[in-house]
Amino acid sequence: MKVKDIITIGIYTVLYFILMSLGTLIAVLLTHNPNMKFAPAITALLAGTVYMLLVVKVQKFGAITLMAAVLGLFFLVSGHSMLAFIPSLLCGLLADVAAKLGRYQSKLLNLLSYCLFSLGNLAPIIMMWTMKQAYISQLLAKGKDMAYVHKVLINFDLGNVSVLVGTILICAIVGGLFGQHLVSKHFKAAGLV
């Protein structure tokens, strides 16, 4: 990768992060609940265009993984453990492989890539499931009470896992298709990609 590619990845990562923050805010406002159950799905719905632009603009293996690593680092520095970084990075790597298999030109593989990448946003929730007691202790140390902790926790059960994964995949498909449409109809026509 060239410096220009890394700068492009940085710009799209910042845009993705802004949309991820907006997705989290919308999820909290819609559900009136501080847990982040629907934040990954709303993010997947909002950020499809940014992701598809990154795929089309850079078209090099490692770009998607680098974006996922930066987002995973954000999870890490914002108080989550390595267990939040690893799923983000792994999903980014799998997404990179899927896009590369289609030489970054296959709409179907790019859409699959976006679905895989979007699942990486489950990383903080996975930490909640795998390190529940540490997660609770961390919230209590920040001055939260048990009533707040109970609102935030998402239990690890088949229903929650199905809802989380299902909504993320549905929203990623819709957001990804919309992103592909905008890229092919508007961004390419305007000569931006």
Domain boundaries, the chain: 3-187
pLDDT value at residue 48: 97
Report whether pLDDT(58) > 80. Answer: yes
pLDDT tens, residue by residue, 14-49: 999 999 999 999 999 998 877 788 999 999 999 999
pLDDT value at residue 174: 98
Q: Give CB contacts under 8 A, 24+ apart, made by 169-172.
A: 169/115, 169/118, 169/119, 170/41, 171/41, 171/42, 171/44, 171/45, 171/118, 172/44, 172/45, 172/48, 172/111, 172/114, 172/115, 172/117, 172/118
Report whether pLDDT(78) > 70. Answer: yes
One-letter identity of residue 40: P
One-letter identity of residue 178: F
